[in-house]
Chain A
Amino acid sequence: DTEVTQTPKHLVMGMTNKKSLKCEQHMGHRAMYWYKQKAKKPPELMFVYSYEKLSINESVPSRFSPECPNSSLLNLHLHALQPEDSALYLCASRSSGGGTGELFFGEGSRLTVL
């Protein structure tokens, strides 16, 4: 079982909806990541939070809004998405933002935008 928990596992939303993806880890990790993965492609980095501060934003459109309420939680707020935003959204954590350790991934939230 993964130690990074993502909810919901599946989400279908219309282009005018507002929804959120949630990610939680209790490993004491201080760096958390959002990745987007389309079919047959590798994960693409979206955001990195290090010690609860946004450290990397890979030029992601503003319709995606990340939030890190505390060191265990990471949210991704979704608003006015497009059908091409349909993908698997993966959350990951790592022990520290300055560390070189492995990433631990959640099982992902599969998003479909109609």
Chain B
Amino acid sequence: KQEVTQIPAALSVPEGENLVLNCSFTDSAIYNLQWFRQDPGKGLTSLLLIQSSQREQTSGRLNASLDKSSGRSTLYIAASQPGDSATYLCAVRPLYNQGGKLIFGQGTELSVKP
């Protein structure tokens, strides 16, 4: 059974710092991995999607890497800003036919202090 774990559960950093969020999954048979942002009481905003054949994806100050064999992904945020404060979720789509569902980690709650 696929399980997704995110560490740390919460993180507080001063503005301007670079930071790394971690995501691990127990079964390397994945179709893709996706990072989301969730603001309090809101839905999900997709940040980056990495296909299983890819090693990383970049969007602006965000860079996500994927090491499928070791079951790990990281989300790197450069020059953090207070507006980056949110909960960050990673999710994997299992490779074998499970209807395309996503399995989520419990998230990392990020707070960037001005």
Asked if chains A and B come from one complex, the reply is no
